[in-house]
């Protein structure tokens, strides 16, 4: 049959894409249905696994019992991160880092972010504060203020390059051009930068930033690294582009840009979803389904005044009480209770309290993942995506 | 939806997907030109910004936006209002009426074909704001509209009308006739009724009245067939977008909804016939490596990539899907001098992506994409149906 997929994945974010990769590698035929591009496009591109302590994998032990990392288990989390790294290397966007070690990378605010795996362009972003650091910015570049950084370090300098364009994407586009890159390098050479590291906002190309970064390092004889920026965030966009490419190479069919309009069920089985369009709706049929539509910010959950609903299958949503208990009084204090909300699943990633048995749930839509509080965004997405795929791809 | 723009959370995902603002700093991108500026527009205050015309309506922003905002549509409505209030350059007027242009050119095809490559003609066209970096498509006297209008048994269980569109009609009537015969070979009754331009070129050039005139006429013809049990098949993805989204949407013509609900992409329809076991085709091998450039408007249709699914069934065929680039020509957009630089820059980017695959041939569903990308990659381009027809040739005999 041409029409029925082994698994239809709803949501094209980190968890949905990693699930798709794991399943195609098991020989399954997959479709991914997504309303739009995922939040990973807005992210730093760095894979946060767990920010408490130096070893994120060991840190899993200290998480509350209901945290979804426990469903996966430490070893499987590690294996999923290895799988992620392998895919990224294949796609020419190699990541560096060890799942057992957190690192601290420089942010555009001149502070540090704790994360685990980073794109190759940020390999040298974890440095000792005594070391000299030279920040490069671009004339009129939006939302990047090198003073935030230089004022935080006693041992720092800054120079500004005129790229002839001021948008992140516009500058990144120019770095794809050989002549532009050579001009930039010879300008850098003329600056006589003291011994130390060179930090450049993340604009070193649309796709092959690692090569660009390495070339500058070699030419200048300094360690060069990228600083993530506010969206549009090139490292996030590169990450999404690379994973999407990995899906296309594996023959995954993509249905993008349309909302789910209706769901067809028969008994305890979901049979198909149809996509909203102006006319006749496209229908995508599957033997099993994975829900990876993300949390509130991505539209997997939708909150109204005193309740929240899951937007595709109307699954029961766990909520931490009434609205007044959703938020902390201090907005910036981490761990707003609302972050706990989401879908509760059993050991096999099937949603609890439903009749349906060919549906699996993964990613930030899972209840108790508390992505912001624990700083485990992409980590939990990758780990649960691969884990859900492993369960649902098992031969019955 | 009218208040779509209020759902915008300013995430910039659409900006990251916009081909025009990527290479042309004069265009502020979908977020600013769409939802941001919309807040400052009212019924009697239209856009005062000339850059509104720079959007090429590729719809990539809409496919990417995770929050259901439709920046391209907001911009299109504004382009139309802007077009109604401001002088429209001659080139826009000409391309809005490309249907008539095609009709006239095909009657005197040999003259047009030999004149268009000439230097002084090119210079003359440049003066009128028409760009000539691409060779003009060849016109044919024996158009589709002058071809045999039906094929297949009248008693066939399934009946289809083929909406072939201007490009096949004027520039590739041979392919149009092959598609007609191919459909008949699948056991379908095929009719190619008299039809006019889908209306998209007129809409894209800010002339909604002409677009609506065309749409009304087509919808009346197609609805007549639909009422008698026919399905509508299109092969041009931009025609498809007009039929399925603009007829019931911005053009809002009578029977628009009916047309929209009963129109199918050619390859989508072949898959449907296979799913229903109406046909059980045997695919013959075709040993080639192809780069499949996905037209922006195929993405926007939201039906996945049906031709790619059929390609998977052809033994020996190695398909590399390239979906991240807009070819830059965007129908008649790149034929306007004012857009030439943008079109060329985008053509070069998309051409590189194709050359990186090092394919034997280039495939794309859209005639404009094929012209532009064959030029910038130097690799000859075919429509996916040409490969499909070749692989299933036993049946067409
Ligand atoms: C601004 C921001 C920055 C971040 N930065 C980082 C970072 O630097 N490092 C890190 O590790 N984590 C970061 N995170 C967290 C991390 O990005 C997410 O937790 C993680 O990527 C979520 O992945 P997901 O697959 O669960 O969901 P998502 O990536 O949100 O994907 C959900 C997908 O489903 C689609 N969808 C939603 N509803 C529907 C529907 N009804 N029908 C069809 N499709 C639907 C959406 O369009 C989307 O594509 C960040 C988050 C945000 C918001
Ligand atoms: S239109 Fe959509 S993609 Fe663009 S900024 Fe607004 S919410 Fe984001
Ligand atoms: S339709 Fe295309 S060109 Fe126009 S704003 Fe959207 S992405 Fe940009």
| pLDDT on residue B45 | 72
Residue B93 above 80 pLDDT? Answer: no
Rounded CA gap, A321 and B8, in Å? Answer: 29
Q: What value does the mean pLDDT of chain B take?
A: 90
Would you say residue A119 lies in a domain? no
Residue A13: closest CA among chain B residues belongs to which residue? Answer: B66
Report whether B342 contacts B51 (CB < 8 A).
no
Residue count of chain A = 396
Does residue A115 lie in a domain region? Answer: no
- A251 and A365 co-located in one domain: yes
B121 touches chain A (CB under 8 A): no
Whether B1 has a pLDDT exceeding 60, the answer reads no
| Interval between CA B33 and ligand 2 midpoint (Å) | 11
- Span B1-5, average pLDDT: 64
For residue B375, the surrounding DSSP H or E stretch is helix B367-377
- Contact: B301, A277; criterion CB under 8 Å: yes
Shortest-distance atom of ligand 2 to CA B71: 1
Q: What is the pLDDT of residues A51-110, one digit of tens each?
A: 988 999 999 999 999 999 999 999 999 999 999 999 999 999 999 999 999 999 999 999
Residues A255, A333: one domain?
yes
Decide if A42 contacts B11 (C-beta within 8 A). Answer: yes
What gap in Å lies between CA A383 and CA A366, rounded to an integer? 12
**Lowest-confidence pick of A152-156, B69-73, B125-129, B229-233:** B125-129
Inter-chain touch A232–B16, beta carbons under 8 Å: yes
pLDDT at B115: 75
Res. B2 pLDDT band, cuts 50 70 90: low
DSSP A197-258: EEEEES-S-SS-HHHHHHHHHHHHTSEEEEE--SSS-HHHHHHHHHHHHHHHHTT-EEEES-
Same domain, A62 and A26: yes
Q: Is residue A87 part of a domain?
A: yes
What ipTM, to 2 d.p.? 0.91
| Residue A35 Cβ contacting ligand 1 at under 6 Å | yes
Is residue A232 domain-resident?
Answer: no
Considering the domain architecture, whether residues A250 and A364 belong to the same structural domain is answered as yes
Q: Which of A192, A222, A252 is the last residue of a domain?
A: A222
> How close are the terminal C-alpha atoms of chain B, in Å?
49
- Where a domain ends, among A188, A222, A256? A222
Mean pLDDT of A271-283: 86
Residue owning tokens 């582009």: A241
In the listed set A197, A222, A247, which residue is the last one of a domain according to the structure?
Answer: A222
- What digits encode the pLDDT tens for the residues B302-322? 999 999 999 999 999 999 999
A172-213 confidence digits (pLDDT tens)? 999 999 999 999 999 999 999 999 999 999 999 998 899 999
B8 lines ligand 2 (CB under 6 A): yes
pLDDT of B95: 73
pLDDT in tens, B94-116: 777 777 777 777 777 777 777 77
Interface of A with B (CB under 8 A): 1-3, 31, 35-39, 41-42, 165-167, 169-170, 173, 231-232, 237, 241, 248, 251, 253-259, 275, 277-280, 282, 284, 298-299
pLDDT, residue B317, reads 97
Answer yes or no: is pLDDT of A1 > 50: no
Residues A256 and A318 in one domain: yes
Measure the CA–CA gap between A94 and B168, rounded to whole angstroms: 45
Neighbour-count burial of A180, counting CB atoms closer than 10 A to its CB (0-12 exposed, 13-18 middle, 19+ buried):
middle
Please name the fold of domain B5-85: Fumarate Reductase Iron-sulfur Protein; Chain B, domain 2 (1.10.1060)
Is A163 in the same domain as A89? no
Task: Let me know whether A175 and A252 are in one domain.
Answer: no
> For position A396, what pLDDT does the model report?
59
Residues in A touching B257 (Cβ below 8 Å)? 279
The predicted structure's pLDDT at residue B57: 96
Q: Which of B22, B23, B64 sits opposite A36 (nearest CB)?
A: B64
Contact A279 B244 (CB under 8 A): yes
Q: Determine, yes or no, domain membership for A117.
A: no
Whether residue A251 sits in one domain with residue A208: no
Specify if A39 maps to a domain: yes
CATH number, domain containing residue A154? 3.40.50
**What gap in Å lies between CA A393 and CA A286, rounded to an integer?**
13
Q: Which domain holds residue A160?
A: 125-222
**B341 pLDDT above the threshold of 50:** yes
Among A228-237, B78-87, B203-212, the range of highest mean pLDDT: A228-237
- A275 and A359 housed in the same domain: yes
In a domain, A200, yes or no: yes
- Number of independent structural domains in chain A: 2
Distances (CA, A) of B364 to B172, B323, B371, B373: 14, 11, 10, 9
Q: Which of B169, B117, B106 is nearest to B140 (CA)?
A: B106
Q: What CATH number does the domain containing A61 carry?
A: 3.50.50.60
Question: What value does the mean pLDDT take over residues A274-296?
Answer: 91
- Give the B window 333-392 contacts with A, CB below 8 Å: none
Q: Are residues A201 and A241 in the same domain?
A: no
Length of chain B counted residue by residue: 397
- Pair A130, A162 in one domain: yes
Residue A230 lies in a domain: no
Q: Is the dihedral of CA A144, A146, A147, A150 positive or negative?
A: positive
pLDDT digits (tens, 9 = 90+) for B350-379: 999 999 999 999 999 999 999 999 999 999
Q: What is the pLDDT of residue B145?
A: 82
Which CATH code is given to the segment(s) B288-396?
Answer: 3.40.50.1860
Helix ranges restricted to H, B116-262: 119-127, 165-166, 173-185, 200-204, 208-227, 237-241, 256-261
């Amino acid at each position: 049959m041409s029409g029925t997929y082994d698994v239809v994945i709803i949501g094209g974010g980190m968890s949905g894409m990693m699930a798709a990769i794991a399943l195609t590698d098991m020989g399954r035929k997959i479709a991914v249905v997504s309303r739009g591009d995922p939040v990973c496009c807005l992210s730093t591109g760095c894979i946060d696994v767990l920010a408490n302590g130096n070893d994120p994998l060991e840190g899993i032990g200290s998480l509350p019992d209901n945290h979804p990392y426990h469903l996966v288990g430490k070893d499987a989390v590690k294996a999923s991160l290895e799988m992620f790294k392998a895919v990224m290397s294949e796609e020419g966007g190699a990541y560096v880092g060890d799942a057992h070690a957190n690192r601290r990378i420089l942010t555009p605010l001149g502070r540090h972010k704790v994360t685990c795996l980073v794109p190759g362009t940020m390999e040298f972003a974890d440095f000792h504060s005594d070391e000299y650091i030279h920040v490069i910015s671009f004339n009129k570049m939006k939302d990047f203020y090198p003073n935030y950084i230089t004022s935080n370090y006693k041992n720092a300098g800054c120079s500004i390059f005129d790229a002839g364009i001021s948008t992140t994407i516009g500058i990144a586009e120019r770095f794809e051009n050989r002549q532009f890159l050579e001009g930039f390098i010879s300008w850098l050479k003329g600056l006589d930068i003291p011994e130390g590291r060179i930090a450049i906002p993340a604009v070193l190309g649309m796709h092959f930033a690692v090569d660009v970064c390495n070339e500058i390092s070699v030419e200048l004889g300094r360690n060069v690294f990228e600083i993530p920026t506010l969206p549009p965030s090139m490292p996030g966009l590169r990450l999404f582009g690379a994973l999407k490419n990995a899906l296309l190479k594996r023959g995954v069919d993509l249905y993008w840009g349309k909302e789910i309009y209706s769901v067809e069920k028969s008994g305890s089985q979901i049979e198909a979803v149809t996509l909203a369009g102006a006319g006749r709706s496209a229908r995508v049929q599957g033997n099993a389904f994975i829900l990876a539509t993300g949390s509130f910010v991505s539209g997997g959950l939708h909150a109204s005044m005193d309740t929240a609903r899951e937007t595709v299958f109307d699954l029961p949503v766990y909520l931490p009480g009434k609205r007044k208990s959703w938020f902390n009084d201090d907005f910036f204090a981490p761990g707003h209770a609302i972050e706990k909300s989401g879908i509760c699943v059993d050991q096999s990633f099937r949603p609890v309290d439903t009749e349906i048995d060919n549906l699996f749930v993964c990613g930030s839509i899972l209840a108790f993942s508390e992505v912001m509080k624990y700083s485990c965004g992409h980590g939990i997405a990758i780990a649960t995506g691969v884990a859900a795929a492993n369960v649902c791809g098992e031969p019955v | 939806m009218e208040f779509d723009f209020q759902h915008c959370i300013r995430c910039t995902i659409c900006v990251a997907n916009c081909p025009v603002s990527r290479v042309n700093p004069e265009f502020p991108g979908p977020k600013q030109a769409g939802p941001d500026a919309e807040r400052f527009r009212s019924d009697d205050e239209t856009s005062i910004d000339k850059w509104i015309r720079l959007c090429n309506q590729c719809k990539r922003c809409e496919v990417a936006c995770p929050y259901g905002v439709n920046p391209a549509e907001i911009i299109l409505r504004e382009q139309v209002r802007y077009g109604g209030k401001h002088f429209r350059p001659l080139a826009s007027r000409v391309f809005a009426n490309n249907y008539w242009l095609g009709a006239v050119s095909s009657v005197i095809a040999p003259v047009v074909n030999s004149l268009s490559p000439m230097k002084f003609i090119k210079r003359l066209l440049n003066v009128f704001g028409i760009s000539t970096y691409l060779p003009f498509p060849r016109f044919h006297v024996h158009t589709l509209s002058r071809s045999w209008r039906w094929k297949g048994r009248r008693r066939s269980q399934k009946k289809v009308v083929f909406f072939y569109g201007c490009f096949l009609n004027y520039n590739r009537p041979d392919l149009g006739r092959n598609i007609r015969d191919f459909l008949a070979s699948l056991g379908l009754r095929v009719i190619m009724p008299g039809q006019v331009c889908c209306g998209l070129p007129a809409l894209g050039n800010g002339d909604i009245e002409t677009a609506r005139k065309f749409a009304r006429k087509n919808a009346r013809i197609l609805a007549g067939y639909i009422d008698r049990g026919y399905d509508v098949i299109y092969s041009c993805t931009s025609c498809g977008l007009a039929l399925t989204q603009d007829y019931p949407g911005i053009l809002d013509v009578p029977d628009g909804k009916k047309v929209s609900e009963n129109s199918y992409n050619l390859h989508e329809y072949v898959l449907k016939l296979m799913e229903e076991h109406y046909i059980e085709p045997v695919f013959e091998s075709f040993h080639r490596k192809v780069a499949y450039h996905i037209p922006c408007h195929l993405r926007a249709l939201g039906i996945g990539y049906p031709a790619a699914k059929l390609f998977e069934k052809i033994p020996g065929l190695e398909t590399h899907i390239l979906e991240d680039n807009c070819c830059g020509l965007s129908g008649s957009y790149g034929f306007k001098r004012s857009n030439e630089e943008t079109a060329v820059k985008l053509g070069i980017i998309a051409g590189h992506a194709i050359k990186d695959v090092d394919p034997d041939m280039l495939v794309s569903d859209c005639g404009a994409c094929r012209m532009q990308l064959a030029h910038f990659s130097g690799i000859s381009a075919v429509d996916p149906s040409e490969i499909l027809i070749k692989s299933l040739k036993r049946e067409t005999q």
